[in-house]
Amino acid sequence: MDKNTLLGMLLMGGVILGFMWLNQPSAEEVERRRQEQIQAELLAAQQQAVEQQVALIADTLSPTEKALIAPTIKQYGVADSMGGYVISNANVNLRLKDEDVSGTINVDDTIINVSDVLSNKMGQLMPKVASKAVAALKSTISNFSKYQEFAKYLTGDSATIKLENELLSLDLSTKGGFISRAELKKYLSYDSTNVVLFENETNDFNLTLTTINQRLETRNFYFTPIQESDTTVLMSLDLGKGAKFGIRYTLLPDSYIVKMDVVQENMQSIIPMSTSSMDLHWYQKMIRHEKGRTFEERNSAVCYKYAGDEVDELSAQGEDVEEINDRIKWIGFKNQFFSSVIIAKDNFTGAKLQSKDLKESTQKAYLKDMTADASMEYSSTASIVASFDLFLGPNLYPLLSDYEEQISSGEDLELTKLIPLGWSLFRWINTLIIIPVFTFLGGFIENYGVIILLLTLFIKIILFPFTYKSYMSQAKMRVLAPEIKEINDKYPGKENAMVRQQKTMELYSKAGASPFSGCLPMLLQMPILIAMFTFFPSCIELRGESFLWAKDLSAPDAIFSWDVQIPFISSTFGNHVSLFCLLMTVTNIIYTRINMQNQAQTSSMPGMKMMMYLMPVMFLFFFNDYASGLSYYYFLSLLITIIQTYSFRFIVDEEKVRAQMKENAKKPRKKSGFMARLEEAQRQQQAMLREQEKRKKGGKR
């Protein structure tokens, strides 16, 4: 900064400070502003006092409102033994006899006569209490006009009725008549308490009937519980004049299935026959059950099945909304290991499904907000309006498969699709091979670490022919390595690349070897490896099962962890180090080295060696946060493969392989279609190169 610039800045600063000093308010100005502020505060206080005084003025009934009281009591009231009609709720009791309205209103434990309210004789009461009495009377009359026969159930005492068997414990709430809590007795959450699928404010279930002048929602009514048997409870609304509406729950013994029937009698006297649909609303704030949030959140979604068609689901990431105008068989809220599913006997006619990720929420005990708004057919003359089967339980493949047979629906429910087992090919491998073997071994072996070991041996036995074929291909390539080196030395440089490749392919053809023959066996093994990748994170049998140092084979086996979030690393690697994953990585590096030693060494692609060693390290970062059972399986699989490789070295005599290849070279061999096409392509490319060379020489002349 030069001298002139510095001087200019000092002058500008002086001018600004001088201006501020000259324009500062005087003492009189400061006092005047203070007085104005005080006056403004006083004015605001006075205004607030006026508003409070207005609020304390007792409300009154208008002539129109008074005129509605008697007809409402007569129309919707219950006849008593004295020839009068009575309607009541928790705070208001009204009686009509000979057009004379009487009764009481309870306001904050103060009993007020209805006659005093109607004649505005409430001067002895505080304005606030009087206003509450008028409001309570208005609300009662309004509710009976709006809800008619249902109005008397708008108030009541909220109570809980229990239904339970050996597996499931349910709480039924009289307020709304729905299942307010579902607890699984055989499964523990990460905090060592029983798994609770939903409870109280985390679950909302509501049925809605909409007529021309009414909207009746079951969540607003207090139902009367009727214990029909040890396993069945009817939540009932007796609407008078023979009309009844209710929801019957039946918990099947030794099962996670709850049968739910919406029943009614003589409802055509209340609900017009023109009402042809009923709406269902189901909301659930999904509770977190696993210590590791990553995979539980990743596998939590709203699932649904089209009637007579396939299963689909909303996105498990972020927020998703789907409006469906086709018939739906069932809707499910599922997470990694547990699901709540409602299966309609006669299908839903349409639905709007929503899912919202709560990852950014401060409520760490929850995963997602899930909502289903569905419609179904309704008839006021039907005795059973709708029937559902509720599945509230674990995502256990054999269990879900059995329930599909127990629930008579006339179609394949595909409840097993709640378990993410990969795309069709990998799912077939899991369902036809892996799960049956795993279930069979689990029938008589309790230690799941041993079961995974036996399952790995079983898979390696199935893959043994492919593994042996791949090793023999590598052995042939090693035997031909000297001849290939001679060809590379005889035809060096880029200009001889085509000739070098042609001679190499001729050598392979004569010897009966192929550089691609080892790839096919490896490709045939890949579907099983990927199937296992999808199987272990979804296998609920491993949940809570310990083996060696791993306390839970369905979660990472962390031997060291930290709380600090490392950018770009914690999202995939996690905040821990898993020992089985570390062992898998070390074994993978050893296997990579052995595999590279088994292959014929060439000078092409020098960076491939480094890439091969880098892959196991990448797998360490990728698998560290996965289930320890998966890392344990891959560790065992690699270890067995290494043992097989060394066994093949002792069994396979490469001199005999060389002799056999020499014999093959003497025999006339018919070229395969692939080799013929490859040689033809090489000849065409060589012809093009020669033509290009001629043109270049002609151009120089």
Query: Percentage of the chain with pLDDT > 70?
Result: 74
Classify residue 165: in a domain, yes or no. yes
Residue 672, pLDDT > 70, answer: no
Give the mean model confidence (pLDDT) for residues 267-283: 90
Reported as a pLDDT band with limits 50, 70 and 90, residue 172 is: very high
User: Distance between CA 701 and CA 691 in Å, rounded?
Assistant: 16
The reported pLDDT for the residue numbered 176 is 92
Same domain, residue pair 139 and 166? no
Same domain, residue pair 577 and 496? yes
Classify residue 678: in a domain, yes or no. no
Same domain, residue pair 413 and 444? no
Q: Please provide the average confidence, as pLDDT, over all residues in the chain.
A: 80
User: What's the helix, strand, coil split of the chain in %, to 5?
Assistant: 45, 25, 30
DSSP, collapsed to helix, strand or coil, labels residue 64 as: helix
Residue 468, pLDDT > 90, answer: no
* Residue 512 neighbours by CB under 8 Å, 6+ apart: 476, 661, 664, 665, 669
Residue 40, pLDDT > 70, answer: no
Same domain, residue pair 577 and 614? yes
Same domain, residue pair 491 and 352? no
Classify residue 72: in a domain, yes or no. yes
User: Distance between CA 689 and CA 682 in Å, rounded?
Assistant: 10
Classify residue 680: in a domain, yes or no. no
Give the mean model confidence (pLDDT) for residues 452-475: 84
Same domain, residue pair 115 and 173? no
The CB density around residue 670, as the number of other CB atoms within 10 Å, is: 7
The reported pLDDT for the residue numbered 39 is 61
Tokens representing 371 are: 């909502």
**Is the model more confident about 151 or about 100?**
100
Classify residue 355: in a domain, yes or no. yes
Question: Which region among 380-389, 523-532, 612-621, 666-675 has the lowest average model confidence (pLDDT)?
Answer: 666-675
**Is the model more confident about 296 or about 11?**
296
| Total domains present in the chain | 3
What is the total residue count of the chain? 701
Same domain, residue pair 544 and 616? yes
Listing DSSP states for 596-658 in one string gives: HHHSPP-SS-TTHHHHHHHHHHHHHHHHTTS-HHHHHHHHHHHHHHHHHHHHHHHH--HHHHH
Max mean pLDDT among 127-136, 393-402, 592-601, 691-700 falls in 393-402
Give the mean model confidence (pLDDT) for residues 668-684: 59
Classify residue 459: in a domain, yes or no. yes
The CB density around residue 65, as the number of other CB atoms within 10 Å, is: 15
Residue 582, pLDDT > 80, answer: yes
Q: Where are any strands of DSSP class E within 491-633?
A: 558-561, 576-578
Find the CATH number of the domain harbouring 321: 2.70.98.90
The reported pLDDT for the residue numbered 352 is 95
Reported as a pLDDT band with limits 50, 70 and 90, residue 138 is: confident
Same domain, residue pair 654 and 513? yes
**Is the model more confident about 391 or about 572?**
391
Same domain, residue pair 80 and 170? no
Classify residue 677: in a domain, yes or no. no
The reported pLDDT for the residue numbered 57 is 44
Residue 338, pLDDT > 90, answer: yes
Residue ranges making up the domain that contains 205 = 160-420
The reported pLDDT for the residue numbered 71 is 82
pLDDT tens-digit map of 587-623: 988 888 877 765 555 444 555 667 777 887 888 888 8
Q: With 0-12 CB in 10 A as exposed, 13-18 as middle and 19+ as buried, what is 223?
A: buried
Give the mean model confidence (pLDDT) for residues 243-262: 93
Q: Are 354 and 370 in contact (CB under 8 A)?
A: yes
pLDDT tens-digit map of 83-132: 788 877 778 888 888 788 888 888 887 888 887 777 777 767 777 778 88
**Is the model more confident about 153 or about 492?**
153
Same domain, residue pair 176 and 262? yes
Residue 278, pLDDT > 80, answer: yes
Same domain, residue pair 416 and 542? no
Query: Percentage of the chain with pLDDT > 90?
Result: 30
**Is the model more confident about 700 or about 108?**
108
The reported pLDDT for the residue numbered 99 is 81
The reported pLDDT for the residue numbered 603 is 45
The reported pLDDT for the residue numbered 178 is 93
Same domain, residue pair 141 and 218? no
Max mean pLDDT among 320-334, 550-564, 605-619 falls in 320-334
* Residue 80 neighbours by CB under 8 Å, 6+ apart: 86, 95
Question: Which region among 198-212, 401-415, 521-535, 556-570 has the lowest average model confidence (pLDDT)?
Answer: 556-570
Listing DSSP states for 649-664 in one string gives: HHH--HHHHHHHHHHH
Amino acid residing at 455: L
Question: Which region among 210-224, 324-338, 386-400 has the lowest average model confidence (pLDDT)?
Answer: 210-224
Residue 234, pLDDT > 70, answer: yes
User: Distance between CA 656 and CA 82 in Å, rounded?
Assistant: 113
Residue 320, pLDDT > 70, answer: yes
Max mean pLDDT among 57-61, 148-152, 316-320 falls in 316-320
The reported pLDDT for the residue numbered 458 is 92
Reported as a pLDDT band with limits 50, 70 and 90, residue 564 is: low
Classify residue 683: in a domain, yes or no. no
* Residue 12 neighbours by CB under 8 Å, 6+ apart: none
pLDDT tens-digit map of 41-86: 655 655 554 444 434 445 677 777 777 888 887 777 777 777 788 8
Give the mean model confidence (pLDDT) for residues 140-147: 74
The reported pLDDT for the residue numbered 689 is 64
* Residue 676 neighbours by CB under 8 Å, 6+ apart: none
Burial state string for 639-662 with b = 16 or more CB within 10 A and e = fewer than 16: bbbbebbeebeeeeeeeebbeebe
The reported pLDDT for the residue numbered 575 is 73
The reported pLDDT for the residue numbered 353 is 95
Residue finishing a domain among 138, 153, 168: 153
